[in-house]
Amino acid sequence: MTLRETFAANLRRYRKAVGLSQEELALRAQIDRTYVSSLERCQYAATLDVIEKLAAELGVDPVELLATPDIDKLST
Amino acid sequence: MTLRETFAANLRRYRKAVGLSQEELALRAQIDRTYVSSLERCQYAATLDVIEKLAAELGVDPVELLATPDIDKLST
């Protein structure tokens, strides 16, 4: 699993856990509306600044977005 | 401490722990020779791809490069 794939899986999981759409999260994190969707499809490599903003909006430590998810958590 | 500052402190600490110069690490990670120096001065926001390459060369999990360092470790 590449780091982009790990990040994409965590981003989607935490975003759904707080009940935000991709657009709502992008708006709150003040990043382009379609960028969250692109990140969740591994199309771009997020920077530290974007990771920091998304983590803050999701209420998680940035480290959580890079941690290798447990296989059973991936299906949620 | 911003995520750039956390990353910079961890990058420098792990790089020194394995005895690599900034240029040597950049060469091994196949990134621009001066980029490691810029990252350690918080001049740029590293991307997931760069974080992944640097972590691989340093032999650490990418998560370690974003973890908030213990204050006493910062002086090493």
- Residue numbers of B between 23 and 62 with CB closer than 8 Å to A: 45-52, 62
ipTM for the assembly? 0.89
- Give pLDDT, residue B36: 97
Angle between the N-to-C axes of helices B3-17 and A48-58, in degrees from 0 to 180, rounded to the nearest 10: 120
**Contact, B67 vs A63, CB < 8 A?**
yes
Q: Which CATH number is A3-58's, of 3.10.620.30, 3.20.20.60, 2.120.10.70, 1.10.260.40?
A: 1.10.260.40
Closest chain B C-alpha to A44 CA, distance in angstroms: 9
**pLDDT tens, A4-55?**
999 999 999 999 999 999 999 999 999 998 999 999 999 999 999 999 999 9
Break chain B into its structural domains and give their ranges: 3-61
**Contact, B26 vs B50, CB < 8 A?**
no
**pLDDT tens, B15-69?**
999 999 999 999 999 999 899 999 999 999 999 999 999 999 999 999 999 999 7
Nearest CA in chain B to A56: B3
Q: Is A17 on the interface with B (CB under 8 A)?
A: no
pLDDT band for position B71 (cuts 50, 70, 90): low
Q: Which helix (H) or strand (E) holds A5?
A: helix A3-17
The DSSP annotation for B23-63 comes to HHHHHHTTS-TTHHHHHHTT-S--BHHHHHHHHHHHTS-HH
CB contact under 8 A, A46 and B48: yes
Nearest CA in chain A to B47: A47
Q: Is B69 on the interface with A (CB under 8 A)?
A: no
The arrangement of secondary structure in B3-61, i.e. its CATH architecture, is Orthogonal Bundle (1.10)
Q: Which residues contact A10 (CB under 8 A, 6 or more apart)?
A: A64, A65, A66, A67, A69
